[in-house]
Amino acid sequence: MEILTKRFENVGETLQTAVLDNGLHICVVPKKGFSSFFACFGTYYGSVMRSFDLAGVRHDTPAGVAHYLEHKMFDMPGGDNALQSMTATGADPNAFTAYDETVYYFHCTEHFEENLRTLLRFVTTPYFTAETVEKEQGIIAQEIRMYDDEPDNAVYVDLMKLLYKSHPVRDDIAGTVESIAEIDADTLYACHRAFYTPGNMCLCVAGDVDAAAICAIAEEMLGGEKGEVPQPVVYEENDAPEKLYTERVMSVSAPQFLLGAAYRPTEGDVLRERIVARLAMRLLCGTSSPLYTRLYREGILNRNFAYGTDFPANTAQLTAGGESPDPQRVYDELMGEVDRIAAEGFDPDAFERAKRASLGARLRGFEDFDSVCLTAFDAERLGYCIFDAPAVLASVTAEECRDFLVRVLTRERTALSVVRPQTHA
C-alpha cells in the first residue's frame, strides 16, 4: 500500500490518497492548526440499487432499503448503539442515504482515533433482529411524513418524476410508509453483504491527522478480504420528457417552483464538465446575472432563489428554483435568456468577473471539512481530484459555457414543477 501525497500551493491544501489491499479507497486532507476532525466512511450503494445478484441468487428489494439499512447500522450486538458510544466522547455522529451512496460520518474534537475505530467497526458489523427492525418503522415513517410537508422536497421529487420515466432516481430515497413495511432483517443482511465490502467503500478524513496512522487503523479494523461487488444495473434514459409541467397544492405562502433539465454526464473529463455546468448556471441566473437582477427588480424573484447542478447515480441535472408569484414567467424568461446567450454569447467582462467569483466560492468551499470530504468521496469514484478545480476553472472558456447551456437547457427538455398555495373557500 502506498500513500500518494499531492500539494496544491495555489489553495494551500494537501490531499493524501491510498488504496488498501482490501480495495478500500482512503482520502486524507490534513488541516494543520484545526482542533476539529471530520471523518466519513461510506459505500457506493444507495436507493437506486434495488435489484442485484448475490451468490447466484437474485434479490429484488423494496423501495427504501438502503435508507432503512443506514438507520439500523448503528445497532451493535449486545444492545449497544454506536450513536450513543460516539456521543459519549463528545463526537457528533450522523449518516445519510442518497441515490447511489450511503455515508456515515462524525465530527469531533477529542478521541479522534477511538471514534474512527467505532465508525469503521459499526458500519462493517451488521446486527439486526426482527424486533429492532420492526421498531424503526415508526421513526422512519415520521421522517417520511416530515419531508412530505416540505415544499422544497415536493418540487424536487415532482421534477425528477417529470425528467425520468424509468430511471430509479425518480423514486423516493426513503421509500414509502407502505414499502418500508416489507423490509425484514434478512433483506438488510443481504444488502449489507452485497454492498458493504471494502472494495465498494471509501473513507475520507479532514483534520490535523496523519494519513499513515489512518491507513493502519483501517487495515486493522477491516482486514484484507476484498469481497465481491455486484455489477450495478445500467439505466439508460435518452428521451426528452413527455410532460414538461406538473403542480400540486400545499399549505405554502406563495408558489414554490423548481425547473430543470436532465442530461447524460460525460464519460470524459468529469471535473471540467461539472465546473463548466456550475459557471454556466452562475452566468445564466446567478446573483449578478442580468436575468436574476431584472426578475428580482420586477418582483418575480426574491432572495429565496438558487440554482443547482446535481449528479446523482450517473445522471445529471441543471436546476433553478425558489419562490415566485409567476413560475411560468420565470421559466419563459430563463428560456428566452438561453436563446439570447445562444445568439450573443456572454459579455466578456461579465465572464471574467464570474470566473473570479467562482474562484472565491471554491476557496470558501474548501474551508468546510464536510463538503471537502463528501466531495472527495464522490470524486474518488469518478477519478478526479477536488483541489484541481481552481486550475481547471482558470482554463474554462465562455464558448464552452455557452455551448453547454444551449445543449442542455432546451425547451424540449426543460421541465417545471410547481407547488401552489392552498386557497380557502
Partner 1 sequence: MEYTRSEIQNGVWLTHIRSDKFKTACLSITLLTQLRRETAAMNALLPLVLRRGTSRYGDMEAISGRLDELYGAAIEPVVRRIGEIQCIGFFASVPEEDFLPAGADTLRGTCELMGQMLLSPNTRGGLLLPDYVDSERGKLIEMIRARLNDKLGYSINRCIEEMCCCEDYAVSRLGDEESAAAIRYQKLTKQYRSVIQSSPIEIFYCGRAEQKRVESLLRDALSTLPRGEIDYDIGTDVRLNSLEAAPREYTEPMNVTQAKLVIGWRLGEAMEEPNPAALRVFSSLLGGSTASKLFVNVREKLSLCYFASVIVDVHKGVLLAYAGTEFDNVERAKEEIFAQLAAIANGEITDEELSAARADVKSALKSAQDSQGALEGFYLSAVLDGADYSPEELGALVDEVTKDDMVAIAQGCECDMIYTLTGDGSEEDEDDEEIAEPTEEELRAFEEDEDGDPDKEI
Binding positions for partner 1, 351-380, rule CB under 8 A: 353-354, 356-368, 371-372, 375
Among 194, 153, 167, smallest CA distance to 61 is for 194
Q: Does 402 sit near partner 1 (CB under 8 A)? A: no
Least Å distance, CB 390 to partner 1, is 9
Q: Does 185 sit near partner 1 (CB under 8 A)? A: no
Select from 30, 223, 232, 290 the one that contacts partner 1 (CB under 8 A): 290
Least Å distance, CB 307 to partner 1, is 7
Select from 16, 17, 48, 67 the one that contacts partner 1 (CB under 8 A): 67
The 134-153 site mask, x for binding partner 1 (CB under 8 A), equals: -xxxxxxxxxxxxxxxxxxx
CA dist 310 and 172 (Å) reads 16
- Under 8 Å CB-to-CB from 55, ≥6 apart: which residues? none
Cβ proximity to partner 1: between 22 and 164 the closer is 164
Select from 51, 129, 287, 397 the one that contacts partner 1 (CB under 8 A): 287
Q: Considering only residues 329-348, where is the footprint of partner 1 by CB under 8 A?
A: none
Q: Quick one: which H or E segment has residue 30?
A: strand 25-30
Q: Considering only residues 206-245, where is the footprint of partner 1 by CB under 8 A?
A: none
Count of CB atoms situated within 10 Å of the CB of 314: 18
Q: Considering only residues 299-328, where is the footprint of partner 1 by CB under 8 A?
A: 299, 302-307, 323
Cβ proximity to partner 1: between 19 and 204 the closer is 204
DSSP code of residue 62: -
Least Å distance, CB 405 to partner 1, is 17
User: What is the residue whose three cell numbers read 449578478?
Assistant: 288
Q: Does 270 sit near partner 1 (CB under 8 A)? A: no
3-state secondary structure of 153: helix
Q: Does 14 sit near partner 1 (CB under 8 A)? A: no
Least Å distance, CB 138 to partner 1, is 3
| β strands within 133-279, DSSP E | 201-207, 245-250, 256-263
Select from 167, 192, 272, 278 the one that contacts partner 1 (CB under 8 A): 278
CA dist 72 and 77 (Å) reads 12
**In terms of C-beta density within 10 A (0-12 exposed, 13-18 middle, 19 or more buried), how is residue 189 classed?**
middle
Least Å distance, CB 168 to partner 1, is 12
Residue 53 — φ and ψ, nearest 5°?
A: -105, 130
Least Å distance, CB 268 to partner 1, is 21
| β strands within 183-282, DSSP E | 201-207, 245-250, 256-263
Select from 14, 30, 54, 109 the one that contacts partner 1 (CB under 8 A): 109
Instruction: Answer for the pair 246, 418: CB distance below 8 angstroms, yes or no.
Output: yes
Identity of the residue numbered 5: T
